[in-house]
Each structure stands twice: as C-alpha cells, then as structure tokens.
Amino acid sequence: MKKFILLLFILTPLFFYGQKKEAPKKKKLTIKFSGFVKNDIFFDSRQTVAAREGHFLLYPKEEELDPVGADINAKANFNMLSIQSRARVLVKGPDVLGAKLSAFLEGAFFGANGSDANEFRLRHAFVKLTWANNQLLIGQYWHPLFITHDFPGTVSFNTGAPFTPFSRNPQIRFTHFMGNLRTTITALSQRDFASFGPSGASSIYLRNAAFPAVNIRVNYDAIDKENKSEMLIGGSINYKSLHPSLATASKYKSTSEISSISYAAYAKYQTAHFAFKLYGFYGEDAPNLTMIGGYAVHAITNTTTNEVSYTALKTASTWAETYYKKNNWQMGIFFGYSKNLGANDTIGGTVYGRGYNIANLYRIAPRLILNYGKFRIAPELEYTVASYATKNNLGRFNIDNHGVVTDSKSVGNLRLLVGVYYFF
C-alpha cells in the first residue's frame, strides 16, 4: 500500500504539470482509418521455437536424437499465413485541460495464443494528451524498452526478437520535452507479454507484487525535416518486482519476491537514403520482453515453512541494422547477438524462463523491399543460430550452479520469407 501511495504521489503532479490556464479552443472530432493486409510465405530448414504456427520465429529447436542418433528436429517445414494483417483507427477530438486530445486503437488477427490464430487481438489502445512541453499517455502501447524511433525494420514479424525487447503493456507514460531532449517516466502492468513463474507465463506475479514495473528513459532526437535526416541517442533503465507464489510448498504464506533491473542504450543516424541503427541491452529476468533468461529458486530460507529466495538470470544482447533505399526499393541487413550470463547467486531449485539452456544466439537477416504505390513485396533471408547446452554422461545439462552453460553445440535455421502487403 505504501508503494502504491508513493506512485500516486509521483504521478498526480505530473498529470497537472504543464497544463494551460486559458480556455480550450473548440475543435471538431476527426476519425482516420488505416492499416494493411499482409501475407507471409515462409520456409524453415528445421523445426523452430516460435509462436502462431511458426509465424513469430525466435530460434531453432535443439537437437533431439532418436535411438539411432538421427535428429528428430532436423525437418524442414513450410507455411503461409495472413494473421499479421492489421486495422487501426486514430481519433482526434476537442482540446481537454489545455491539451490536444487523441485516441488510438489498433488490432490484428494474430490471436492471443496458438489455438486462436486468425482471431482479432488488441495491439494498442491508448488515450494521449499533449501540451506544449509535456505529454501523457494512458493505455496499452509499446514497452518503453522498445524504441519506436529505433527498431529493426525486418520483414519478419519478430522485429528482431529475441535480440531486442518486444512487448506491449498497459501503462501510464509521462513525457517532458525540452528542445531535442525527451525524458519519459512510465508505470507498467502486464497482459499479453507476461513473466514466467510457478503457474507458467502470467501477469499474476507482477499483480501480486502490488507495484507496477517502472521505466525511466532519456533520449536526444534531432530531426531535420528539410534534409530528411535524424540523429537519435538515448538510454533507459527498467525495474520490476514479482511475487512468484502466495504459498510455499508446505502451504505457508510466502512473502518472497524477485526484483530485477535492466538497462538499454541505443543510437540511430538516418538520411533520406541511408540509415544505421544500434541497440544494446543488459538486464535481468527478460522473458516478458520476448528475450531469453528468467529467474530461479536460489535457496530455502526457512526449513520449517519451506520459504525460498530467488535469483535473476542475466542477459546481454545487441543488434545493429543498416539499409539503403532509393525510389521504390530498399536493401537492408540485420544482425543480432544475445548471451546468457547466468545468475549472481547459485541456483538451488526450479528455473522459470525461456532459453536458459542456451549459451548464446546470433542472427543475420538480409532483406529487399520493393514498393509499388501501396503494394509491397519483400523477400528476406533469416539465418538464426542457437548454441544449446550439451548433456553429460548422467543426462544432465552442462550448466554450472550459476546457470552458465559450460559446453554447447550450435544448431542453425535458415528461413526464407516473402511478405506481400497492401496498405490502406
């Protein structure tokens, strides 16, 4: 309760800060519809860890050997899907509290899980108030670690995941503008992109911590509209606390929580024809950001109640992208690398997360985009390699007691993808 009161104490002044005292000008309500239809045609050289029938690719599956040593997962597959097709509506209304008022709603046919692909799912839904030097956004939008001015422009819907944070969250976001400098403070909950725990992936662990995740981001963004150039540099810090379980294994009330901190730095330089983007991430417990990592039971702290403590797994990741565009075409290439850094404390129990038996990952993805008015065709090659922990003579993974992989074997997947779009 104290933490919640503290959050309200911080956010309430921000809501009123920067409001104009003069009477708001009357403005008509405007509604704009837009979106696109996209068809993805893709071939994978082996089985993959992915969502929605292989559409959202993360990395190749590890080797699974049959009795004669053949790799069961070394089997190619093919699919065609249109579930990324999207519809959006932007509403701008009369000024409120001296601010320009707008609302944005966007959805796609991606579904909420594998069984309901093709069903309509909410992506973004927020209300935004904009003053001269301040902005307040309330609703579901990109996580602040996903930089909307600096993200991979891949054809693949994974948009660079798991090498870059990818998550949409209900949130309250306050931004202050000072020339080209922008400072943003965000309080977040979880919904579709949730943390892992004893009950699987769920928002319940953050909800039971009774305090939202908090992000602070600062960036300098210089845009020259006349020369169509932009230079962006920034950094972000993110904090969250989870309450994994209400009761211990012995049915005593549990008070243990796991806190994690993550950092990101990024930069972009763009001209009318050329762009270079760079992003670096170092953090703890990142699966809710569609990255590898998580947390684990560290030790039993009370032998009577079986209360446990936790330790977070650390992940380091970086990606870079460059492209050249002219007239109706663009050529680009994406490179990403991610590494499992293990935990600060020893692991003494269950691990909750994604890819914690992976030592490292890398991806190379060249693409070509051809635009003909509102029609686009975009082929892309995406080669992703995962180095999985091998097993010892006892059938256990070669991972030390801090979660660091000590011996690994790499497997790769080549995806051939063609995206076909129509924008409206």
Identify whether the C-beta of residue 300 lies closer than 8 Å to the C-beta of residue 348: yes
- Report CA torsion sign: 191, 195, 200, 204: negative
- Report CA torsion sign: 209, 212, 218, 224: positive
Identify whether the C-beta of residue 129 lies closer than 8 Å to the C-beta of residue 92: no
- What residue type is assigned to position 193 of the chain? F
User: If you average pLDDT over residues 202-227, what whole number do you get?
Assistant: 97
User: If you average pLDDT over residues 249-275, what whole number do you get?
Assistant: 98
Identify whether the C-beta of residue 321 lies closer than 8 Å to the C-beta of residue 335: yes
User: If you average pLDDT over residues 48-71, what whole number do you get?
Assistant: 96
User: If you average pLDDT over residues 80-92, what whole number do you get?
Assistant: 97
What tokens appear for 390 in the block? 């091998």
User: If you average pLDDT over residues 148-176, what whole number do you get?
Assistant: 98
**More confident of the two residues 21 and 83:** 83
User: What pLDDT, on a 0 to 100 scale, did the predictor assign at position 28?
Assistant: 84
The conformation of residue 289, written as its DSSP 8-state character, comes to G
User: What pLDDT, on a 0 to 100 scale, did the predictor assign at position 12?
Assistant: 58
User: What pLDDT, on a 0 to 100 scale, did the predictor assign at position 407?
Assistant: 97
- Report CA torsion sign: 334, 260, 146, 288: positive
Exposure on the CB side of residue 330, measured as CA atoms within 13 A: 21
Identify whether the C-beta of residue 365 lies closer than 8 Å to the C-beta of residue 334: yes
What tens digit of pLDDT does each residue of 1-56 get?
555 555 555 555 555 554 544 454 566 899 999 999 999 999 999 999 999 999 99
H/E stretch holding 16 reads helix 2-16
What tens digit of pLDDT does each residue of 87-145 get?
999 999 999 999 999 999 999 999 887 778 889 999 999 999 999 999 999 999 999 99
Cis status of the peptide bond prior to 162, with omega within 30 of 0: yes
What tens digit of pLDDT does each residue of 303-347 get?
999 999 999 999 999 999 999 999 999 999 999 999 999 999 999
Phi, psi of 9 (to 5 degrees): -65, -35
Over 80: is that where the pLDDT of 244 sits? yes
User: What pLDDT, on a 0 to 100 scale, did the predictor assign at position 415?
Assistant: 98
User: If you average pLDDT over residues 341-363, what whole number do you get?
Assistant: 97
Range among 5-9, 255-259, 389-393 rated most confident: 255-259
User: What pLDDT, on a 0 to 100 scale, did the predictor assign at position 5?
Assistant: 57
Block residue for tokens 């059938």: 395
Is 35 buried (19+), middle (13-18) or exposed (0-12) by CB count in 10 A? middle
Characterize the bridge pairing of strands 293-302 and 56-60: unpaired
Q: Name the band, by pLDDT with cuts 50, 70 and 90, for residue 187.
A: very high
Name the average pLDDT for the chain: 94
Closest to 273 in 3D by CA, of 228, 232, 233, 231: 228
Closest to 14 in 3D by CA, of 150, 239, 211, 214: 214
Identify whether the C-beta of residue 291 lies closer than 8 Å to the C-beta of residue 317: yes
User: What pLDDT, on a 0 to 100 scale, did the predictor assign at position 15?
Assistant: 53
Range in 151-160, 265-274, 303-312, 391-400 the model is least confident about: 391-400
Identify whether the C-beta of residue 247 lies closer than 8 Å to the C-beta of residue 253: yes
User: What pLDDT, on a 0 to 100 scale, did the predictor assign at position 395?
Assistant: 86
User: What pLDDT, on a 0 to 100 scale, did the predictor assign at position 14?
Assistant: 55
DSSP one-letter string for 388-414: EE-B-TTS-BSB-TTS-BSSEEEEEEE
Identify whether the C-beta of residue 412 lies closer than 8 Å to the C-beta of residue 363: no
Tell me which CATH homologous superfamily contains domain 29-423. Answer: Porin (2.40.160.10)
